[in-house]
């Protein structure tokens, strides 16, 4: 792969000699992630410092038809930032790392795309505010997770990360700058998309194929002074679903999640290991906040009321004890329990992926039972998480799958388990989030022709030269 020295020279002229390169040892660091997608080196990496530099880069890439992929902290899993085409430029946004404003009264913040979860959490907590933290490294970017419909904890009753976005600024593939939301009408107003047309959908869930988000405003709920974590266990997923369905209707829990035995082990057993007979198969935790002691007590009472009712119906659900140290871990800085997804896969040799989906909760049992058979047949642990967002509206179903990337055979085995599991999800009406290209093959087979045509029309309109993360969505 041979780069164009003129392009590299122009990139250096825009961002400075020290912030643009095509050196292979640096390209290697951007050529892979932890999933099964094959490695591929980009041709160039540039690290702009501001919007103006991004505009100039995009104008250059349009003129030369150079493929472009925007990257946050390079902690993605799913191959979303691995080049699919030769001569690709990765625009590394980590230098745009300012928290521009935290509006404590209106409860929103404006950030640049390089702001990390840890950086954001620290500043919010100083003001008694919070955001939805994913199970991922604190170094990951808030914007990358939010615009990719990422999941989160501590604020799940408000919805997904993308549902907490309130305005954005974007550099389009042509180099044009646009604002979407209230900031499009008044420059310093970033509080809401509504009641304007929802054009933010052009830039969320598109995985860097429609533009580069350079400023993002997100809703930041308060941190109430009283908090508790209530926990329970069941022997089967059906009993866990019935408990979560009933308790979720109260819309009291800021995080309502359950994991099976294999996922509760850190690291996940690799290869497959039988669950000990004396261990519960499913364990759930619910994070409850209150502005007063009585409010919190009422929420805890509601939890016990639901448990009692489910037991009367014959459920295996039972209350379990949760250590105080673990409670702090669930309610403080991002991912204090596991630290990072990397910790899950230490027995496999450092690779991990998943069929992560939004699947109707009443389909969890059906899909999970198929997953168990698929994973056990391939000697893999069916390490699964289920979470409810916005009460019971969004059901998140995900199987964390360790991968031994040192072995092509084992990598292919894990990949095939994930793709087979994806088929079961799609058949049940679930939709995968952050899908690798292999997922998009399966998604597009089932997609409405009008939906695919609309995506193509939008892509052609906004990216006429097809330079933004080409080959990612496979809509052509």
pLDDT tens, the chain, 476 aa long: 455 779 999 999 999 999 999 999 999 999 999 899 999 999 999 999 999 999 999 999 999 999 999 999 888 888 999 999 999 999 999 999 999 999 999 999 999 999 999 999 999 999 999 998 887 788 899 999 999 998 887 788 888 899 999 999 999 999 999 999 999 999 999 999 999 999 999 999 999 999 999 999 999 999 999 999 999 999 999 999 999 999 999 999 999 999 999 999 989 999 999 999 999 999 999 999 999 999 999 999 999 999 999 999 999 999 999 888 777 777 776 655 544 577 788 888 889 998 888 999 999 999 999 999 999 999 999 999 999 988 667 789 999 999 999 999 999 999 999 999 999 999 999 999 888 888 898 899 999 999 999 999 999 999 999 999 999 998 87
Q: Do 18 and 119 belong together in one domain? A: no
At 3 the pLDDT is 59
User: Does 243 lie in the same domain as 181?
Assistant: no
DSSP state of 23: -
Q: Cα–Cα distance between 173 and 212 in angstroms, integer?
A: 8
| Structural domain contains residue 419 | yes
Of 219, 253, 276, which closes a domain?
219
Return the pLDDT at 344.
84
Q: Which of 42, 63, 92 is the last residue of a domain?
A: 92
∠ CA(399), CA(405), CA(410), 5° rounding? 70
Are 244 and 213 in a shared domain?
A: no
Same domain for 395 and 284: yes
Residue 124, φ and ψ in degrees, nearest 5: -65, -45
Positive or negative: CA dihedral 382, 388, 389, 394? positive
Domain contains 452: no
For the chain, what is the domain count? 3
Q: What is the DSSP letter of 209?
A: S
171-to-113, 155, 210, 348 alpha-carbon distances in Å: 12, 29, 9, 40
Residue 372's domain comprises: 226-434
Q: How far is CA 297 from CA 221, 226, 249, 305, 369, in A?
A: 21, 10, 18, 12, 36
Specify the CATH number for the domain of residue 61: 3.30.43.10
Domain match, 415 and 389 both: yes
Say whether both 33 and 132 belong to one domain: no
Q: What is the CATH number of the domain that holds 115?
A: 3.30.465.10
| Contact in structure between 178 and 170 (CB atoms under 8 Å) | yes
Q: Are 214 and 109 within one domain?
A: yes
CA 142/CA 144 separation, integer angstroms:
6
Please choose, from the candidates 408, 384, 409, the residue with its C-alpha nearest in 3D space to the C-alpha of residue 395.
Answer: 384
Same domain, 84 and 135: no
132/192 same-domain check: yes
Domain boundary among 92, 112, 131: 92
CA distances from 11 to 16, 79, 90, 469 (A): 8, 25, 11, 18
For the chain, report the end-to-end CA distance as a whole number of angstroms: 25
In a domain, 470, yes or no: no
pLDDT reported for residue 340:
59
In a domain, 32, yes or no: yes
pLDDT of residue 299: 98
Rounded Cα–Cα distance for residues 140 and 417 (Å): 27
- Residue 250 falls inside a structural domain: yes
User: Which residues are within 8 A (CB) of 224 and not within 5 positions of it... i.e. 6 or more apart?
Assistant: 289, 290, 291, 295
Query: Do the domain assignments include residue 344?
Result: yes
My answer on whether 233 and 133 are in the same domain is: no
Record the pTM: 0.94
* Domain presence at residue 38: yes
Q: For the segment 234-251, what is each residue's pLDDT rounded down to a tens digit?
A: 999 999 999 999 999 999
The answer to whether residue 453 is domain-embedded is no
Same domain, 394 and 259: yes
Do 348 and 429 belong to one domain?
Answer: yes
Domain harbouring 346, CATH code = 3.40.462.10
pLDDT at 335: 52
pLDDT digits (tens, 9 = 90+) for 351-396: 999 888 899 999 999 999 999 999 999 999 999 999 998 866 778 9
Length of the chain: 476
Per DSSP, what are the bridge partners of residue 212? Answer: 171
């Amino acid at each position: 792969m041979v780069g164009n020295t003129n392009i590299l020279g122009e990139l250096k002229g825009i961002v400075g000699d020290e912030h643009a390169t095509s050196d292979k040892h640096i390209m290697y660091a951007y050529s892979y992630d932890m999933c099964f997608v094959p490695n591929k080196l980009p041709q160039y990496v540039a690290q702009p410092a501001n919007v103006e530099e991004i505009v100039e880069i995009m104008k250059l890439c349009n003129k030369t038809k150079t493929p472009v992929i925007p990257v946050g902290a390079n902690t993605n899993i799913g191959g979303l930032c691995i080049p699919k085409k030769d001569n690709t430029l990765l625009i590394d946004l980590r230098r745009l790392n300012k928290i521009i404003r935290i509006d404590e009264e209106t409860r929103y913040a404006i950030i640049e795309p390089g702001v990390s979860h840890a950086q954001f959490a620290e500043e919010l907590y100083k003001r008694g505010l919070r955001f939805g933290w994913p199970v991922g490294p604190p170094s990951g970017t808030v914007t990358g997770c939010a615009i990719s419909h990422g999941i989160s904890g501590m604020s799940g009753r408000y919805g997904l990360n993308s549902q907490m976005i309130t305005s954005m600024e974007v550099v389009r593939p042509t180099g044009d700058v646009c604002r979407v939301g209230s900031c499009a009408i008044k420059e310093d107003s970033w509080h809401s998309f509504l009641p304007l047309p929802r054009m933010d959908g052009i830039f969320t869930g598109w995985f860097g194929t429609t533009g580069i988000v350079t400023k993002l405003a997100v809703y930041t709920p308060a941190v109430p002074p009283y908090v508790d974590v209530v926990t329970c266990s069941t022997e089967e997923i059906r009993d866990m679903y019935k408990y979560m369905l009933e308790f979720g209707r109260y819309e009291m829990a800021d995080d309502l999640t359950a994991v099976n035995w294999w996922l509760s082990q850190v690291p996940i057993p690799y290869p497959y290991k039988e669950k000990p007979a004396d261990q519960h198969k499913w364990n759930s935790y619910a994070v409850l906040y209150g502005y007063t002691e009585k409010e919190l007590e009422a929420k805890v009472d509601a939890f016990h009321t639901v448990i009692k009712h489910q037991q009367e119906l014959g459920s295996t659900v039972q209350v379990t004890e949760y250590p105080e140290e673990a409670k702090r871990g669930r309610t403080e800085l991002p991912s204090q329990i596991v630290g990072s997804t990397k910790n899950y896969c230490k027995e496999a040799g450092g690779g991990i992926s998943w069929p992560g989906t939004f699947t109707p909760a009443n389909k969890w049992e059906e899909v999970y039972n198929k997953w168990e058979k698929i994973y056990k047949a391939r000697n893999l642990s069916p390490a699964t998480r289920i979470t409810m967002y916005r009460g019971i509206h969004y059901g998140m179903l995900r199987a964390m799958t360790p991968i031994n990337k040192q072995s092509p055979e084992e990598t292919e085995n894990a990949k095939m388990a994930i793709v087979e599991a994806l088929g079961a999800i799609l058949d049940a009406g679930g939709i995968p989030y952050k899908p690798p290209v292999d997922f998009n093959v399966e998604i597009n087979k089932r997609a409405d022709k009008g939906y695919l045509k609309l995506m193509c029309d939008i892509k052609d309109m906004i990216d006429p030269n097809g330079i933004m993360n080409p080959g990612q969505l496979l809509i052509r």
